[in-house]
Amino acid sequence: MDELQLQDTSNHSKKRKLEHNKKKKNKAKLSETPKKQKTSKKMQKLYQKRVAEYNSDNDEDVQSEGSSGHVSEEEEIGKFSDTDEEGKKETGSQKPDTSVGVIKFSEGSKAFRMAFMKIMKKKVTEDFLGPILSGDKKLIAKKLTAEEDENAQKASRKEKLLKLNQVKEKGHVRPANFLDTKEKLLISLATKGVVKLFNAVNKAQLVQKGVRVSKSKDAKELGKKSKEAFLAELRKESLPTRFNPMTSSVNKATKTEEGKNNDPGWALLRDNYMLTSSKLKDWDKMPGGAATAVSAETLVDSSSDEE
């Protein structure tokens, strides 16, 4: 028997490690059904047998049973001579004090049973909170009141902010998308003002323009006058006799436009234009002087044309 036991233990040592892990998994997933694939038929039968044998009144004997169960299991296994690798052993370890997380299945089930019975024994209170598995009711009550307070605070803060914003934005008005009558009135007022101003500017500046033009004319005349004087000097030496009518006509041209009637300054308008070549009368006598006189005259005429 002992030999068998030893053999079996040696055989089962590896299996036990496997079973360790599986036991851990099983402990974690107490509620889940164990994987049926892994439990062999032999083991199932073993379990069924144990269930039938199970007697809650013999709590104290569970441990001893457990240890004896070991032996019995192994005996049974030995009987069937099964070397299942997936042999599911209930007990995780022979040493119960190896790790905290791993306890005997029987012990675990016992603890669960006790807890369950306690809960079932408890009266179901008709509180609105419902059955509470954890915590003190007082704690819950505290939490709720704290939440309510917070909400109340938040609401009051929001109100304050709203009021502040109202005060801040007081007077800030967003204009409408359309032009209402008042705005149209104001725009028309402003337009009238602008039009008045522009007309005034117009008047003033057009008048100015006219003045400026005449002013500029005078400037030109001034310039011309100086030019005439220079040319007159030139001509003086060459044509002393013909100088005077020329200069007089040119002078008349420099006067304002009113003086055009009597003796047009513009050579074209004179009656004796090109007909009487008074300038060229004595051209054969004084070729150089005549040429200069003619050139000066043409110069003068051309400048008066530009007027």
Contacting residue, 59, 142, 155, 193, with another protein by CB under 8 A: 193
What is the contact mask toward another protein in residues 155 to 174, using x (rule: CB under 8 A)?
------------xxxxxxxx
Integer CA distances (angstroms), 287 to 15, 153, 238, 245, 283, in order: 148, 119, 10, 20, 5
Phi/psi region, residue 130 (left: phi>0; alpha: psi -120 to 50; beta: rest), is left
Enclosing H/E stretch for 298:
helix 287-306
Site for another protein in 207-236 (CB under 8 A): 208-209
Exposed/middle/buried for 286, CB within 10 Å: 0-12, 13-18, 19+?
A: middle
Piece in contact with another protein (CB under 8 A), picked from 47-55, 75-83, 93-101, 180-188 = 180-188
Contact present, 84 and 10 (Cβ < 8 Å)? no
Nearer to another protein by Cβ, of 193 and 223: the residue is 193
DSSP string, 211-240: HHHHHHHHHHHHHHHHHHHHHHHHHHHH-H
Confirm or reject binding of residue 120 to another protein (CB under 8 A). no
Site for another protein in 23-82 (CB under 8 A): none
Integer CA distances (angstroms), 40 to 86, 214, 285, in order: 7, 128, 157
Q: How far is the CB of 161 from another protein (least distance, A)?
A: 13
**Residue among 212, 46, 24 nearest 101 (CA):** 24
Nearer to another protein by Cβ, of 52 and 167: the residue is 167
Q: How far is the CB of 260 from another protein (least distance, A)?
A: 27
Contacting residue, 28, 139, 201, 280, with another protein by CB under 8 A: 201
Confirm or reject binding of residue 194 to another protein (CB under 8 A). yes
Q: How far is the CB of 163 from another protein (least distance, A)?
A: 11
Nearer to another protein by Cβ, of 68 and 188: the residue is 188
Cα 219 from Cα 241, distance rounded (Å): 29
Give me the residue label for tokens 């007309």.
199
Confirm or reject binding of residue 176 to another protein (CB under 8 A). yes
Question: By rule CB under 8 A, what count of residues binds another protein?
Answer: 32
What residues line the site for another protein (CB under 8 A)? 167-177, 183, 186-187, 189-195, 197-202, 204-206, 208-209
